[in-house]
Amino acid sequence: MTAVDEWLTHLRARDLSPATIATYRRTMRTVPNPEIATADGIDAWWASRAHLAATTRVNELAAVKSFYLWCRRHDWRTPTDDPTYRIEPPRVPKGLPRPISRADFLHLLDVLPPDLRRAVVLGGWAGMRVAEVALLDWADVDRETNRIRVTGKGRKTRLVGLSPLLLDSLLPDTGGNVVTAGGITYSPQALSRRVNRAMRAAGVESTFHALRHRFGTLALATSGNLLAVGRAMGHSDPSSTAIYAATSDADLDVIADGVTR
């Protein structure tokens, strides 16, 4: 068994999500001879990733650094042998969320097949991540209390409100996976690809994640409660939720109206 294999086994034992482990595995496959890589080799690998988006590079570097930290702690490398020591993560500019428009959202509900329609409403009306949507089981949908139990990043669970409209869009209760109506579960990557392709085919230039942006923007505009919206979306840092205030701040409308008088 290679060091990478043992590391991934270690991550599974720590109960990291299958999606996270799959992402880490794909990242390590891009690193030539990771077990014996030198600092020069890792520098060359990092240079080969320069064409990727900053967020992607940050995530890849975090995976590689995590691997070498594990290697140093488990005798695959000496305690001071870190081939990533010269690499600094790129700065990721904080952009404003780009929620899908109401017109595009309603259009998708009209044209998508039932499985993708269920996925879209869970993203837009429950604010769930695609990985959370893909794995949602009917056992996690509590129709008595009108709550959905969501298992998110790091296996953390949270409760999301279940409106009558959302429930009606998910029914019938088939048992098993919600999106596939009890059928074979899509992987998060497969579901994301299916939804994004279907969006483009429907003439909607957007992504699954924009559904979550729509939820966050409308939820904050409606409630004004930053902490409650953060809990509903599974944010560990309030600053992650605060970006939605920029697109839902009613004061901006007051200013815009005032300066044109």
User: What's domain 102-252's architecture?
Assistant: Orthogonal Bundle (1.10)
For 127-165, the pLDDT digits (tens) are 999 999 999 999 999 999 999 999 888 788 999 999 999
Quick one: pLDDT at residue 232? 87
H-only helix segments in the chain: 3-13, 18-29, 39-48, 54-73, 102-111, 114-126, 130-134, 164-170, 188-201, 208-223, 226-233, 238-242, 245-248, 250-258
Quick one: pLDDT at residue 249? 58
- Which of 40-44, 98-102, 221-225 has the least mean pLDDT? 221-225
Q: Are 218 and 133 in contact (CB under 8 A)?
A: no
- Average pLDDT on 182-199 reads 94
Residue 204 has pLDDT above 60, yes or no: yes
Question: Which of 91, 112, 90 shows the shortest CA–CA distance to 100?
Answer: 112
- Average pLDDT on 3-32 reads 90
Is 82 strand, coil or helix? Answer: coil
Quick one: pLDDT at residue 259? 46
- Which of 24-33, 88-97, 98-107 has the least mean pLDDT? 88-97
Is 149 strand, coil or helix? Answer: strand
Band of pLDDT at residue 221, cut at 50, 70 and 90: confident
Band of pLDDT at residue 38, cut at 50, 70 and 90: very high
Residue 248 has pLDDT above 80, yes or no: no
- Average pLDDT on 247-255 reads 57
Is 85 strand, coil or helix? Answer: coil
Q: Are 98 and 112 in contact (CB under 8 A)?
A: no
Determine the length of the chain: 261
Give how far Cα 105 sits from Cα of 111, 119, 194, Å: 10, 12, 16
- Which of 3-17, 46-60, 99-113, 230-244 has the least mean pLDDT? 230-244
Is 176 strand, coil or helix? Answer: coil
Question: Which of 137, 92, 121, 106 shows the shortest CA–CA distance to 212?
Answer: 121
Residue 252 has pLDDT above 70, yes or no: no
- Which of 9-23, 105-119, 150-164, 246-260 has the least mean pLDDT? 246-260
Band of pLDDT at residue 245, cut at 50, 70 and 90: confident
Question: Residue type for 87, please?
Answer: I
Residues pairing with 137 in the sheet:
177
Give the start-to-end residue ranges of the domains of the chain. 3-73, 102-252
